[in-house]
Amino acid sequence: MQNSPAMKIDSSSIRDQVYEKLLELILSGALAPGARLDLTQMATDMGVSKTPVKEAIQRLIENGMIEVKPRSGTFVSTIDPERTVQNFWFRLALEVGCATEIVANVGTDAVRTLRALNAEMRRLSDQADTEEMIRGFLPLDARFHNTIIDLAGNAVVSDRYRQTGVLLQVMRLKRHHARDRYAQVVGEHDAIVDALERRDIEALRAACRGHVEAAIQRFAAQSPHLTE
């Protein structure tokens, strides 16, 4: 990476800012899967010492975004199809396992928020099939799912859920889906919100399961070597 004023960050909350900057670079594709990371150069580019960079790198390693290869260096993780599917199932396990608590805590405001997020995703999915549309859609999708899992009231669950969510977001940015696939996602979201509004635990579990199974099918369509 070249030294750039745009990389400079404020001195407050340096650790978190470095983490967010590196995450942004990975999600934007500026740091592509497989890219080798030069910690010294990164610290110079950001105008910080190597300590917060190392701390941010460690967090990203724990999240699965970065990997260390012995005697080779530190790299942005490549997309592992099998691990991606495992992450989908892991998120479903959290959703299904927390369904009772989610339904117990859902209120009118949460339902309204979810409807609004999905309406915006529907608007984007009706637009031209562009990278800009996708980059607008994915953060809304993350907020939608995070809002639901946060209703469980379990900080550990929410934290792990978000970790896998970031990995899946990277995968979606790298693997282009046709516009109609995003319209399908919006329809699956409708079923989830409908179940929440009715406070129907089993319907919520079924809707979440259907959403994840459909997501895996969409992913597998672009990863034909995956075993069914």
Residue 60, pLDDT > 60, answer: yes
**In whole angstroms, what is the distance from residue 220 CA to residue 86 CA?**
12
Q: List the domain boundaries for the chain.
A: 5-76, 81-220
Which of the listed CATH numbers 3.20.20.70, 2.40.10.340, 1.20.120.530, 1.50.10.20 matches domain 81-220? 1.20.120.530
Q: Is the pLDDT of residue 179 over 70?
A: no
CB contact at 8 A, 191 and 207: yes
**Does the structure show a pLDDT above 90 at 26?**
no
**How sure is the predictor about 200, in pLDDT bands with cuts at 50, 70 and 90?**
very high
Taking the CA atoms of the chain, what radius of gyration do you get in angstroms? 19
pLDDT band (50, 70, 90) for residue 224: low
CATH code for the part of the protein at 5-76: 1.10.10.10
- Under the banding of pLDDT at 50, 70 and 90, the label for residue 6 is low
Mean pLDDT, residues 22-27: 82
Percent of the chain with pLDDT over 70: 87
pLDDT band at 187 (very low <50, low <70, confident <90, very high): very high
- For the chain, what is the mean pLDDT? 87
Give residue-wise pLDDT tens across range 31-46. Answer: 888 899 999 999 999 9
pLDDT tens-place string over residues 124-178:
988 866 677 777 888 899 999 999 999 999 999 999 999 888 878 777 766 655 6
User: pLDDT tens for residues 65-117?
Assistant: 899 999 899 998 887 888 889 999 999 999 999 999 999 999 999 999 999 99
Compute CA 133 distance to the chain's CA centroid, rounded to the nearest angstrom.
16
pLDDT of residue 193: 99
Strand residues in 53-109 grouped as ranges (E):
66-69, 73-76
Measured N-to-C along each axis, helices 179-198 and 201-220 cross at an angle, to the nearest 10 degrees, of 170
| Backbone dihedral angles phi then psi of residue 74, each to the nearest 5 degrees | -110, 130
